[in-house]
Amino acid sequence: MLLEAKSLKVYYDNVILAIDGIDLMIEQGEIASLLGANGAGKSSFLKAVSGLLIMENGRVTEGEIIFAGRRIDHLSPIERVKLGICLVAEGREILKNLTVEENLKVGTFIRRDSADAITKDYERVFRYFPVLLERRKQTAGTLSGGEQQMLVIARALMLKPRLLLLDEPSLGLAPIMAQSVIKEIQRVNHELGTTILLVEQNASLAIPISKRVYIVTNGRIALNCLSEEIKKFDISHYYLGRGNK
């Protein structure tokens, strides 16, 4: 098991409970999806795993987060990155005044392997996202929304993550572009064996590429099943807040 959360809780301002005892497991090399309505607690879970919540005043986490057999909930975000956990947050947080190449270079700063290995990874991400090769000298802020999304994923891949946390990668993209991004996420998983936890509003994009699906309502796991079993359930109930009835 690569990632395990045990009775994980997240409080905002020490009062509001955003996550209420989530238990979740992800195996090495699989894609798992975390689905649910807005405000269900999906992004809070990703921030808790990546360590970002411990950097923000008024956020408190309880429970255990175990990565590759090691408890990590006490570690800083940079320590978790060094272990191979990388979050691509919602909002396409690129460095807009830098070029595409310079943004990708940022993703290599903590690496200590050879220049040849890093060069090969540049070539690999350009194969996944050829438009970035064409735009490599272009200022990142001038890219389209879809191209910016490709860039933040490519930058994350330059870190060589063991676990890639993706928060709403299709948000705000045209359907064709969203499908293209999801296709490349699946390709990364197949070719590199990168474990991926995908948070998505668009269940129709996420479920077909996932091995396991978790649906969150009101900060709790309301449904946990293999993606091939999802047709047994009317997941609209969970999005409408009736999943626990």
Burial class (CB in 10 A: 0-12, 13-18, 19+), 56: exposed
Q: Report d(CA 43, CA 167) in Å as an integer.
A: 7
Q: pTM for this one?
A: 0.92
Q: Could you read off the pLDDT of 76-128 as tens digits, one per residue? A: 999 999 999 999 998 888 999 999 999 999 999 988 889 999 999 999 999 99
AA identity, residue 225: C
Q: Per-residue confidence of the chain (245 residues) as pLDDT tens digits?
A: 999 999 999 988 766 688 999 999 999 999 999 999 888 899 999 999 999 876 555 567 889 999 999 999 999 999 999 999 999 998 888 999 999 999 999 999 988 889 999 999 999 999 999 999 999 999 999 999 999 999 999 999 999 999 999 999 998 899 999 999 999 999 999 999 999 999 998 899 999 999 999 999 989 999 999 999 998 888 877 765 444 33
**Integer angstrom CA distances of residue 92 from 4, 43, 75, 167, 173:** 27, 14, 25, 10, 11
**Integer angstrom CA distances of residue 148 from 138, 145, 219, 222:** 12, 5, 30, 33
Residue 240 has what pLDDT? 54
Residue 58 has what pLDDT? 52
- What domains can you pick out in the chain, each with its CATH number? 3-239 (3.40.50.300)
